[in-house]
Amino acid sequence: MKMKKILFYLLLAAFCLSNAGCSKEDFYIDNNVSNEWNGEGTPTWLEDKQFEITMPWAHESFHPNILWKVYKFTHEDNLLVAINYEKVALDYISGIACYASNGRQVNFDKVEGSFKKNAKLICTNFIGEQGIIPQVCQYELNDCEKLQWLQEDINLLCKETDATDNRFTLRISCGYCSDDVNKYIVLEHLCFDRTKKQSIKTAWFYTPAGQKLDTAPSIKSRNLKFIELGLGFFR
């Protein structure tokens, strides 16, 4: 009986020590302390972390499109920041980097449950209803005040893309094109399909009065402006 008690207390002590070892320190990956963030606005160190994430891709010949979504959340009363990134260029890479309020990197696996429960989006370069909706006036089109119908189609395009989990917008372009006779307005959408790991482009053509064409005209010339994902493009 005495031996059983001794064994019991040894096991209890080992359990306590193992739990004591699971301190907040176990969540940290580095010791790179920056300015403390109070949860308002965005952290002063955010762009530095963003730059660190992109460093492995600096040698690539193609400038990547990078989708950023930055969240704040709490874990055991600790304020944390999660940077969700998706990079599209020569290949597709996605991940989540997590940081404490003072900029120290945290093991995201340790806090993923809390992230799923209370994460709140604080900034993004996402093109869509959750982020940035391009405006007709940004495309340098003539008589923008008469192009409300085009803005409505852009809004609908953003809404429909948001509703699709496996796709996100890389670029929305607008401008003019012409065949041998007529001039048309073009709305062009470039998105990335996460499942197929490929970009998909779709274009719609309109008369200047706003009538959508059933078939694409034989284009002889085109002049489009675009709004796309880019490094540091946060709102």
Divide the 235 residues of the chain into consecutive groups of 10 and give the mean pLDDT of each group. 50 46 69 95 96 88 86 96 93 96 96 98 89 91 94 94 87 93 95 93 95 90 82 41
What pLDDT does residue 44 have?
97
Q: pTM of the prediction?
A: 0.80
Classify residue 1 as exposed, middle or buried by CB count within 10 Å of its CB (0-12, 13-18, 19+).
exposed
Residue showing tokens 């402006």:
225
Say if residues 185 and 203 touch (Cβ distance below 8 Å): no
Angstrom distances, CA of residue 67 to CA of 88, 91, 147, 170, 180: 8, 14, 29, 8, 39
Classify residue 30 as exposed, middle or buried by CB count within 10 Å of its CB (0-12, 13-18, 19+).
exposed
- Parse the chain into domains and list their residue ranges: 27-124, 136-228
What pLDDT does residue 220 have?
83
* Bridge partner list, 33: none
Segments of 33-119 assigned E as strands: 65-75, 78-88, 92-100, 105-106
CA distance 125 to 47: 13
Q: Report angle CA 60, 65, 70 to the nearest 5 degrees.
A: 120
CA distance 173 to 38: 38
Phi-psi region of 63 (alpha: psi -120 to 50; beta: other; left: phi over 0): beta
What pLDDT does residue 23 have?
55
What pLDDT does residue 65 have?
87
User: Could you tell me which of 118, 166, 174 has the C-alpha nearest to residue 142?
Assistant: 174
